[in-house]
Each structure stands twice: as structure tokens, then as C-alpha cells.
Structure 1
Amino acid sequence: MISRLSEQDCRYYLIEVRDLQEAIEIAAKIPGAIRGCVELRAVADDAQTRALGFDWCRHGVYAGRRPRPSHSRSACSNCFRSRVMVTSKSRSVTRSTTADTSAAVDDFMVRLAHPHKDAIQALRRIVLGIDSSIMEGVKWNAPSFRTHEYFATTHLRAKNGIGLILHLGAKARGNQAIQIDDADRLLAWLADDRAMVSFVGVEDLRAKARALQDVVRQWLRFV
């Protein structure tokens, strides 16, 4: 039976991840990715899984130094949109997926039941208006903001109102010192590289909008 297989699986890992980006980062740390490649395949094939960026056929996505030469996008119309290549030495991996779009956030907001939905929508407009390099997507099951890396995530479970958590993405950066001129004292520091701005509602958000934009502009220098 084994001799008839065109492929042989010598080892596999079953992991639960938030999205394709996290799956790639984990796969890049597997020793086999140093000289060869590690194949990623989604176990589930449903709308929720595809919304997280796992949108490919049974051929999977490959992480490592060598792509699998026997398969290409042109050979299969159901394949993922673009091949993902990472190595174990990569600092970070950035790939735009269906979850990394404003359309994904729009869909998320349609389905979201939240007492401060108007404040969340206003927060999106304010943050996206800070700089043309800022984009949005659904990360950590919440509207989030990114440039080349996610740096801010909407806090939907605040006791009163909503919050915006400023961070440096999913990957640890070491002891990076962040210094922000926060004259209006918006920031509540959660760690050396993480802080939160809270808003009790949409009017509070609008009142703090200019100060928030100034803080985010400074934060982007550390992302």
C-alpha cells in the first residue's frame, strides 16, 4: 500500500491556530523547513476556516526553502491565490489573506452584536484616516489594524465601552523600549510593549480622536 503512494508522510503536527499567518510562523520553526519545506493543510473546509485565510485545495501550502516542484497554481484552479514561501530564519511572514481586508471587517461588523457598534465603526474611520499605509482586517476575532504588521486590535470585551489595544504584533520583539508622548494620558500600559486606550462610547471617542491619532502616529514608529 505504501509503495503505491506518490507521497509519504513521515511526520505530521496537528495544531490549532488563529489564521494562516500563525500557521506559517509555526511551520517555519520546524527543523525540516531549514533545508526543505513543510506543507500546511487545513483539516476543516468550511466558510469559517476559509475566512481565516485557509483557502486552498488538497495540495496545501508549503513553508520552507524549497517549494514542491510537482504542483503549481496553474495546474489546479482551486488552489490558494499565491504560494507562500518562508524559511526558519525569516523574521516575520506577511501574507494578505481574505481576513486581512476591509471587506472582512465589514462582514464581521454585520454579524457583530455589540452595544457600542457605532463607536467601533467610528474607531475604524479614525484609525484608517491617520495614515494611508494603515489597513484593517479581522485578527484575534476582532477588527484590527496593520501596516506590514498588525499593531492595534479593538477590545470588544471592555466592561464599559470599547478599547483599542496597541501592540507590536504576534511575534516577540525582545525588550523594545516604547516611548510615547501621551500628554492627554490616554494610554493604560498593559506591558512594556502593549497599551490600551479606552472609550466609554462614541462621544468619548470623538472627544479623544485627535489625541488618539497623535498616539497612534507615534506608535507606528515602533512597529
Structure 2
Amino acid sequence: MAKLPPKTNSQQVTEYIEKLDAPVAQIVQAIRQIVLSVNPEIGEEIKWNAPSFLYTGEMKPFNPKEYKRYIMVMNLHKRILLVFPSGAKVIDNTGLLEGDYADGRRLLYIKDMDDLKSKEAGMKKVISDWLAQVEK
């Protein structure tokens, strides 16, 4: 029997979403589409047991433990929480990002699809502002 090629990161994200309960899966898929629509150099993968989004373009060398490529990681335990690991570097005029953590992360809670739709433009702005600060 021929060995199957490894699944792409996008295939892994799709399979992850397909296993979620319907209302959450719809919201997560919508978040995915929003994030990926911001810039073609945004990629996705399963990291920390959830869909995560990262910058795939050229960057200055850095310690991999700094996770500088990661724009946003989903936390789907009991709620939909979007974690921006280095969100503190973005001047957030949208008021969407919450928290003041010493490690620089900021959080965005999504209650339901209507809440997501109301935050979509702000999310795109936060992600665009984050991308503008990438050290290339």
C-alpha cells in the first residue's frame, strides 16, 4: 500500500474545524477566512492544539522560542478566544484587544457570529498593523 503524502497545514486546519460542533465550527471557519484574507503571506497551521496563523514571509533571524511569526492563536476551550502572542506591539485604536500581560499577549473574545461580524473590520486592522511591524 502506497504511503499517503503528509497533510498540508491547511488540510490539518480544515480537519480540525470539521471536528468542532456546528456553531463553533462556523465561527472558526469565518475567523479563518477573515485572517487569511488580510494578506497572502499569512499562513495557517495547528499549533498549541488549535488553528494558528503566522506570517510566512522573510524575517530577520530570531530565536524560535520568541514565536515572532505568530499573529494569532485560537483557544477554543469553553469559549472562542483569539490570542495575539505579541499583540502589545500593535497600537490598538479599535479597542478590541484586551489584557495587559507581561509577555506581550493580548486577547480578543468572540461570543457568536454577530459579535464576529461586528469585530471583523477591527480584526483586519489589528492584523494589518501587526504585519506592518514585522522585522524583515
User: TM-score surpassing 0.5?
Assistant: yes
Contact 2:99 2:106 in 1 (8 A): yes
Query: Residue 59 of structure 2 aligns with which residue?
Result: none
Where 2:38 maps in the other structure, the secondary structure is: coil
Distance 2:124 2:14 in 1: 22
Output the CA distance in 1 between the equivalents of 2:36 and 2:70. 13
Alignment of 1:41-190 (within 5 A): 98=7, 101-113=9-21, 115-148=23-56, 149-158=69-78, 161-168=79-86, 178-190=88-100
Q: Distance in 2 between matches of 1:105 and 1:125?
A: 12
TM-score (norm 2): 0.74
Q: Is the 8 A contact 2:88 2:106 kept in 1?
A: no
* Aligned 8 A contact 1:178 1:222 in 2: no
Cα deviation, 1:52-87, whole Å, max 9, x if unaligned, reads: xxxxxxxxxxxxxxxxxxxxxxxxxx8xx9xxxxxx
Structure with more relative contact order (C-alpha pairs < 8 Å, separation 6 or more): 2
| 1:28-50 deviations in Å (ceiling 9; x for gaps) | xxxxxxxxxxxxxxxxxxxxxxx
SS of 2:73's partner is strand
Kept after mapping to 2: 8 A contact 1:137/1:145? yes
Whole-angstrom CA distance in 2 between matches of 1:165 and 1:180: 13
Q: Which residue of 2 aligns with 1:214?
A: 125
Q: Which has the larger radius of gyration?
A: 1
Cα deviation digits, residues 169-197 of structure 1 (max 9, x gap) = xxxxxxxx944232231011252420111
Count, aligned residues: 118
**Counterpart secondary structure, 1:188:** coil
What is the root-mean-square deviation of aligned Cα atoms in Å?
Answer: 2.5
Q: 1:111 to 1:179 in 2, by over 3 A?
A: closer
2: CA distance between counterparts of 1:104 and 1:131? 20
* Identical-pair percentage: 28
Q: Please list every run of at least 4 consecutive aligned residues from structure 1 whose deviation after the TM superposition is greater than 6 angstroms.
A: none
SS in 2 for 1:137: strand
The residue type equivalent to 1:153 in the other structure is V
2:110 to 179, 199, 208: 199
What SS does the aligned partner of 1:129 have? helix
Structure 1 residues not aligned, in runs of 5+: 1-77, 82-96, 169-176
TM-score with structure 1 setting the length: 0.47
Q: Which is richer in helix?
A: 2
